[in-house]
Amino acid sequence: MTAPSHGLAAPPAPAGAPRRFCRAARGLRRTLGALAAAVLAAGILASFPACAHAQEGAAGRTLQVGEADVWGLAESLFADGEYYRAITEYKRLLSYFPGSAHETAAQERIAQALLLGGEPRQALSHIGARLDTAPEGERDRWLVLRAIGRMDLDKDAPFLRRRGNIEQALADLRSVSPASAGYPEASGFVRALEAPPELPRKSPALAGTLSAVLPGAGSLYVGRPAEAALSFFVNALLIAGTVTAFQEHQGGLGVGLGVLALAFYGGNVYAAVSGAHKFNDGAQAAYLEEQRTRFGLVLERGKIGAAFQHDF
């Protein structure tokens, strides 16, 4: 038989102890989480007054933009050639500061900016609206501006097509009051256009005749040497080819080359006549621009020429 042990044996652990321990741990975690959340919430609530004061402080620092600031920005943009941005600022000035001392100047600048920005039709629309309501003392300046706009219309078109616009511009300049500061320039320009000197001219009939006699000669007469050389070479080649074909009894080839030679021959005559018209057209357009510059009826960056200079 085995002798009985005299040591003390540990009492057996209750069967539900592990579960009670886990439940206690979970409860402790929930308690700590709730405590942390409460501390965080308290901190956030404590910071609200500071945030509110910060917002109030930011709201208290309102940026003040005055009439002079808007005008100065618009003028700066205009002088830098930022015409469309300048127009936006001039319009802002007119909208935010009705009755401004710069109102007339801003309206004029808008017209100038549109013209300098290559929008003469929009400029003329703007000018027309101002002319309808302009007081007597301001009409002359608007008339000069409208004349400039009309002369800028279709500027790349042949001079003959622009003649109607130029006549309307002259009519505006004739309406400028003798008491106006710009009257000497306006009237001088009108006289220069009404009685121009004898301008360089090429006869279309003579140019066509010369090219009919000798292909390329008419083009050389109107100052187009490269065109003249090409015309002479092509026509000479085709004529020589036609003659050679018939001499070699190649009638079909000769007829084909002959038709082609006639087409190029006619084109050579037409090119000479057209070149004479273009030469005359260019001489008239050059004279117009020369007189506009002479009498200050041109737009420059940030200002208008002598007939329309004005410091705002």
97 and 171 housed in the same domain: yes
What string of H, E and C letters represents the secondary structure of 96-165? HCCCCCCHHHHHHHHHHHHHHCCCHHHHHHHHHHHHHHCCHHHHHHHHHHHHHHHHHCCCCCCHHHHHHH
Predicted confidence (pLDDT) at residue 6 exceeds the cutoff of 50? no
Domain boundary among 170, 200, 230: 200
Task: Tell me what percent of the residues of the chain surpass a pLDDT of 90.
Answer: 57
Beta-carbon contacts of residue 94 (< 8 Å; ≥ 6 apart): 100, 103, 106, 107
User: What was the pLDDT predicted at 63?
Assistant: 61
Q: What are phi and psi of 300, to 5 degrees?
A: -120, 165
Whether the CB-CB separation of 296 and 307 falls below 8 Å is answered with: yes
136 and 229 housed in the same domain: no
152 and 173 housed in the same domain: yes
Q: Which residues pair with 15 in a beta bridge?
A: none
Q: What's the structural domain count of the chain?
A: 2
135 and 98 housed in the same domain: yes
243 and 164 housed in the same domain: no
Q: What are phi and psi of 304, to 5 degrees?
A: -110, 160
Predicted confidence (pLDDT) at residue 287 exceeds the cutoff of 60? yes
CA distance 134 to 146: 13
Q: Among 65-69, 166-170, 214-218, which is the least confidently predicted range?
A: 65-69
222 and 286 housed in the same domain: yes
CA distance 231 to 274: 14
Predicted confidence (pLDDT) at residue 1 exceeds the cutoff of 60? no
Task: Tell me what percent of the residues of the chain surpass a pLDDT of 70.
Answer: 76
Predicted confidence (pLDDT) at residue 61 exceeds the cutoff of 70? no
Predicted confidence (pLDDT) at residue 154 exceeds the cutoff of 80? yes
CA distance 162 to 156: 9
The DSSP element (H or E) to which 299 belongs, if any, is: strand 299-300
130 and 174 housed in the same domain: yes
Does residue 137 form part of some domain? yes
Length in residues, the chain: 312
Does residue 237 form part of some domain? yes
Does residue 46 form part of some domain? no
Domain boundary among 200, 235, 261: 200
71 and 182 housed in the same domain: yes
For residues 57-69, give the mean pLDDT.
68
* CA-closest candidate to residue 295, choices 306, 286, 280, 284: 306
Predicted confidence (pLDDT) at residue 9 exceeds the cutoff of 90? no
Maximum separation of any 2 CA atoms in the chain, in Å? 155
What's the one-letter identity of residue 147?
A
Q: Which residues pair with 303 in a beta bridge?
A: 300
Confidence class of residue 254 from pLDDT cuts 50, 70 and 90? confident
Does residue 303 form part of some domain? no
Find the DSSP H helices in the chain: 17-60, 67-79, 83-96, 103-116, 120-133, 136-152, 159-174, 183-194, 204-213, 217-221, 225-247, 251-294
User: What was the pLDDT predicted at 20?
Assistant: 56
161 and 238 housed in the same domain: no
Does residue 43 form part of some domain? no
Beta-carbon contacts of residue 222 (< 8 Å; ≥ 6 apart): 202, 207, 272, 275, 276, 278, 279
102 and 209 housed in the same domain: no
Helices (H) and strands (E) in the chain, counts: 12, 2
Containing structural domain, residue 148: 67-200
97 and 163 housed in the same domain: yes
Does residue 51 form part of some domain? no
Whether the CB-CB separation of 132 and 107 falls below 8 Å is answered with: no
Does residue 52 form part of some domain? no
Q: Which residues pair with 300 in a beta bridge?
A: 303
Mean pLDDT, the chain, integer? 82
Domain boundary among 142, 174, 200: 200
Look up the CATH number of the domain holding residue 76: 1.25.40.10
Q: Among 17-26, 139-148, 169-178, 269-278, which is the least confidently predicted range?
A: 17-26
User: What was the pLDDT predicted at 307?
Assistant: 46
Does residue 49 form part of some domain? no
What tokens appear for 59 in the block?
């709201």
111 and 182 housed in the same domain: yes
